[in-house]
Each structure stands twice: as C-alpha cells, then as structure tokens.
Amino acid sequence: MAPVLAYGAMQEFNPHMSLMNQHSQAAAAQAASANPLFDDWSGPFGVPPFGQVAPQHFLPAFARAFAAHEAEVAAIAADAAEPTFANTIDALETAGDALTRASNVFYLLAGAHTNDAIQEVERELAPLAAKHWNRILMDEGLFRRIDALHRRRTQLGLTAEQVRVLDRYHARYKRAGAALDAAAKARLGDINERLATLGTTFSQNVLADEQGYTLVLDGEDDLAGLPDFVRAAAQAAAEERGLAGKHVITISRSSVEPFLQFSARRDLREKIFRAWIARGDGGGATDNKAIIAEMVALRAERARLLGYPTFAHYRLDDAMAKTPEAVRSLLERVWLPARSRAMEDAVALQGLVQDEGKNFALAPWDWRYYSEKLRKVRCDIDETAIKPYFQLDRIIEAAFYTANRLFGLTFERREGIPVWHDDVRVWEVRDAAGRHRGLFFGDYFARGSKHSGAWMTTLRDQEKLRGDIRPLVVNVMNFSKASEGEPTLLSFDDARTLFHEFGHALHALLSDVTYPMISGTSVLTDWVELPSQLYEHWLERPEILSRFAVHFRTREPIPQDLLRRLIAARTFNQGWATVEYVASALVDLEVHLQAAQSDTRAAGAKPFDISAFEHDALARIGMPAEIVMRHRPTHFQHVFAGSGYAAAYYSYMWSEVLDADAFAAFEETGDIFDAGTAKNLRDHVYAAGGSRDPVELYTAFRGRMPTPDGLLRRRGLSEKVA
Ligand SMILES: [Zn+2]
C-alpha cells in the first residue's frame, strides 16, 4: 500500500502544453481503447511504458485501481479466520498494487512533465483519492483486526521489523480516525475531501501567479550588472515565450534569485521582488488567503476530533520531535544567534550602499545584490569565478564516486529504457558484488512543463515481501540547460542541491527492508532529511572538489586557493539564510497551534485572518525589516499544497542537528570515507528505511543523540570561544 497521497502533496502545475502531450495523444490514438495502465509492464526492469501513457488513461485507471483495492481490503476485513499477521498485515501490504503503480506514474508526470490535461485530471482526482483513502483507513472491520493484533504483538513471534510495521499500521489507522464513532468519521471524511481539493487549488493558484508574471528586459540598460550565465538563461526563457531577442526573468526561484543577486537596476529588483513575494496574495481569482483560513480551521477541527488540542500537537505526536514545545525550543535556540548575525550583516550591507554614494535604506530586494558584493570583499569569491568549475556531468560523477567510496555502488548509463522526456538519463545501479540494485533516473533540466524546485521520488520501492523487488528511483532538478554543444554549468548551490536529492535517492536505492510500508524514504518527516542533508557534506570537501571541480575549457582542477576560499565562504550570509528559514518554520508552527473552533461550520465562526496573523507573528519574533520569510503563507506549498510539511517545516533543521553530528563521525576518524563508519551509516540509516524508531537508528549509528551545537557551528552561528 502506498503512503497516503505522499507524492501528490507537493506538486505544482504548469499550463504549458508540452511535447509529452502531442506525443501522448498520438500514442493514445494508436492504442485506441487499450490502456497501458491496466497492463503488467513487461519492458526492461518493469519500467512504466511512458511513450504509451496518455492523460486520458489516468481516470479510468484510477477508477479501476480504487475498486480493485477496495475489494482486496474488503476481503481482508471480512476474513472469517482469526486475524494473523499474514492474513491482515501482509495482505494489506500487497493490496492496492494497481493503485500504487498508477499513482507513481501520475504524480511523476504531474510534477515533472505536466500539461493542461494532466492538471485537469489532478483536480478531479484529488477528492476521489481522498474519498478512497477515507474508506480504506476508516474501515471498522479492518481496524478491529489490526487492533487485535497490536494488543497481542509481543506474543505473535514477530520479527522486530514486523512489530514496527504493525505499530505503524495501528498508528496510521488510529490517526486517520478508524477508532471514532460513525458521526465523527463522517465529518472527518468530509474534512479530508475538502482539504484535498483546497490543497490542489492552492498549488494551482501559485502556479497561475508564477506563469502570469514575467519581467521582460529590453536593451542593455535593463540588463545592467547581469553576468553571461544569467543573460543566457533569460534569453532562453524569452525564446520559450516567443520573444526571441529579448530577455525574460520569471518568478520561479531559479530565475528570480540570480537576477536579484546581480541586477544593478534597483527599480527592477523591487518590481520583481514584490511580484515574487505576492504570489497567492494578489486578491482576485488566484488569492490563497481564504483557502488558508479554511484549511487552518479544518485541520484544527480534524485534530480536535482525533483528541488533540491543535493540529500541531496531532502532527508532531507522530514525529521525532513529539511536541510543539520541542520544535519551538530548537527553532528559538537557533533564532537569536541567527538574527543577531543577520543584523550585523545588514549594517555591513548598508555600508556598501553608502559607499556607492546612495542614501536609501537597505530593503529586502537589495539584500542578495549587496551580499554578493560583500561576499567578494569578505571571502574574495564571486559566483562567476566559481561557475566554470561546476559542470553538471562532473558533479553527477562526483555524486556517484562518493556513493562508490562509501557504499561500493557502481553506476552504468543505460539507453533504451522508457522515459517521460528525452532529457531524462538512466543508470543501472549495482552493489559491490556486482548485483543489480535498481535504476536511477536523472531529470536535470528546467522546462515549461516542470514544477519548480528539486525533488526525489520513486516509480517502484524496494521490498522483499513479494520477492526481491528493486527500486526505480528518480531525481528531478531545474538547472538551466546550456545551448547545444556547451556543457551545463552549475552554481555551488545547484551542486549542493544535486547532492541533496542524490542522498534521498540513495536512501531508496540502498533500502534493505521486507515491507513496502517502511521502505526507503517512507519514514518520519523530521528524519527523512538526514540522508539527503548529510550527503551534501561530501560535496564540500577538497577530496571531492579537487577531483571533480574541473574548468570546463582548460580542464584544470579548481585552484587550491579558490577551493580554500570557496569552502571558507560556507558560513557567509548564514544569518540571513537561517532567519528566512526559521521565520517560515515558526509561522508554520504557530499557524497550526490555533485551537479549533467548536465546529468550523458553526454560524458566526470568525474566519482566520492569515495576513494579520503573519504580521503579528513576525513582529513577536522581531523579524528584521530587510528580510522576508523564505516562504510567505500564501505560497507556502510545503504546508498548504497538501499537508506534506504542515506543522513540519522545521524538519529540515531537525535533521540538520543530526547531519552535522553524523558527518563528524567520519571526521573524527580522519577519513571521510572511513569504511567502518560507512558500514554503520549504511546499516542504520540508508538501508534501514523506517524499520526502527529513528532515535534507535541514530543511537545505533552514533552511540548517542546529538545537541544543536554542531548545527550552530556549521552555520557559523555559535558564540566564539576564547
Ligand atoms: Zn530533501
């Protein structure tokens, strides 16, 4: 059984018609009534037949898959035999196969290669999927069996992994409301369906605002300050929009951030920055404030029905953090040093403004521009000097090399595997003994049909319940593609993102568990960023960089002094980065600490005012005027486009406490590839999935749990000790 809508939660949609669409329509006509989603996929490695799948195949496939899953689950619930682990949990784990497969293909395309038709399917599918999972997860007969097994779990002769799976089933059903009375279940069901629709609308509104805004640059004046790589990307974006000869900046992060970093035109920086932070907040048809109000109220009501004072309490009860107090305590521990560092930096940036003979007060649209200048002064480093050393192909090799040194994996490029776009590359992954471990798909380039950001997903998860099933693992990025014949160059941040997502990919590729439910990245949200963030550490090491950061023209490795400065610059501007992140995490937490109104439907219930709330929450923590939250609520997709990171955006920082400490385990041996430490890491983290409680896993790896000190040191925020 697939994790509930886990992959649907984070998707945005793009109205661009794409190659895939033309391609698929042709294929659909050819295939007439055949639906490839009904069939077993007999191609190489069981990869879905992407060339044959068309948008109109999805709704019929989902209808059939829902019905099949429901019949399977009904049979389990109605089994006259006494509940056993095999006839209940094993049976549930192997049910819903068609649904898992349809979902994996659909949500991959909805994120990485969408179009109008897929977007429409998504809107129709959201409430149908919610209704389906309501039926499954609130099934009384089924819960009675799970509960009976759970009570006797120590007497069933189960393996440790089976006990964990049983615990997770019990928690999942309880948390879904399976133990409630009929009236509460009915209300909860309505709430879930409504939330699914609201989440889809939220993300489509953000995308509409992103697509609806472009800054067209016309002539050299408008391009002032922009280096070649920003101009090239802006030129490509203009061409894509039929504006050949001009330059276009969009408000997707990968386009707007470099512009803010380099554009000497303060008026244009302000213009696009204001548009960027107003996504979902513009009034009119795509405004998300009413949606947020309704979602916050419904989530609080759901939590109350399930016996929790607030949604945050409900959410965190099933996380490593356990309580809102634990989350707040970590965030506040980091907030004060980060804020004071950011305020010091603001003074220095203001000084640069004055040095230019200008007298305006530093504003949020100035921060990136002047901090790029400050970085040159303080660290003697600038983006345009670094970039020629970061070729996409070499950084991919670096990620593979690291996995080889740590875990013995090898990667061999494979052609002829079905993919969803010509840019997608496929590698076969083998272990040290040469055995097949899975396939890795890399989809690296930005395009109009792709959701912004970077993520990892799977087309199939590792498991051993039904035989030795090997995973199909996907990384999706948004790097600007170089023109024909030129190598694609990355920023250091891009390279770090590649390592981050590859760390998630390894979590899936190295997974070595029996049960699908706890396979790979199917773990608690505040644990899932450990394997990814930890992997970033290797990129920042000279052992990797002096080997793989090679100039694309001269083929010379990065000069030692540039390398040294690059690594030393890691803590530069971390006050600002920490402030924009922690402010978002704190607001996410506080929003979900709203107590439920007795009934959201009650007449006279006062609607939640997110604008006032945001303003007050930021005032309370003393948000510096020169910095804006990394994600303002009206476009905070982690939190409102589905519930993926709702009351859980802190998870990145929680995992960072762990990754800072985990990498130290290697450093302490004097070898960042130390074999013994790598074996421990593999056994207790990358291969372990959700097979044990994360505190147990980490303690097994490191012998103890860490404190936040390592994180503060890594961000350069710890007080200097004399
Ligand atoms: Zn991640």
CA pair distance 586, 633, nearest whole angstrom = 11
Q: 505 CA distance to ligand 1 centroid (A)?
A: 10
List the shell of residues around ion ligand 1, using CB closer than 5 Å.
Answer: 529, 532
* Residue 602: predicted pLDDT: 56
Name the residue among 70, 131, 176, 94 with its Cα closest to residue 461. 94
Q: 529 CA distance to ligand 1 centroid (A)?
A: 5
Residue 8 has pLDDT above 70, yes or no: no
Q: 456 CA distance to ligand 1 centroid (A)?
A: 8
Residue 18 has pLDDT above 90, yes or no: no
State the helix-helix crossing angle for 492-509 and 530-539, rounded to 10 degrees.
Answer: 130
Q: 503 CA distance to ligand 1 centroid (A)?
A: 8
pLDDT tens track for 668-688 = 999 999 999 999 999 999 999
- DSSP-derived secondary structure letter, 457: E
pLDDT level of residue 633 (50, 70, 90 thresholds): very high
* Residue 601: predicted pLDDT: 54
Dihedrals phi, psi of 439, to nearest 5 degrees: -115, 145
**Region 107-113: what's the mean pLDDT?**
93
Q: 112 CA distance to ligand 1 centroid (A)?
A: 17
| Average pLDDT for the chain | 91
Range of weakest confidence among 131-145, 181-195, 375-389, 537-551: 375-389
- The neighbouring-strand residues paired with 429 are 411, 438
Q: 302 CA distance to ligand 1 centroid (A)?
A: 27
**Sign of the C-alpha dihedral, residues 523, 527, 529, 530?**
negative
CA distance readout (Å), 86 to 80, 95, 111, 145, 399: 14, 12, 36, 12, 40
Q: 652 CA distance to ligand 1 centroid (A)?
A: 8
Q: Tokens 């380039």 sit at which residue?
A: 445
pLDDT tens track for 536-595 = 999 999 999 999 999 999 999 999 999 999 988 989 999 999 999 999 999 999 999 988
Q: 446 CA distance to ligand 1 centroid (A)?
A: 18
CA pair distance 722, 720, nearest whole angstrom = 6
Q: 9 CA distance to ligand 1 centroid (A)?
A: 14
- The neighbouring-strand residues paired with 474 are 441, 457
- Whether residue 497 contacts residue 546, with contact meaning beta carbons closer than 8 Å, is answered with no
- Which helix (H) or strand (E) element contains residue 574? helix 574-591
Name the residue among 159, 147, 3 with its Cα closest to residue 77. 147
**Sign of the C-alpha dihedral, residues 396, 398, 402, 405?**
positive
- Side chain identity at residue 24, one-letter code: S
Residue 643 has pLDDT above 50, yes or no: yes
Q: What is the DSSP string of 383-404?
A: HHHHGGG-BHHHHHHHHHHHHH
- Residues marked as catalytic: 501
Q: 315 CA distance to ligand 1 centroid (A)?
A: 19
**Region 384-406: what's the mean pLDDT?**
96
* Residue 42: predicted pLDDT: 87
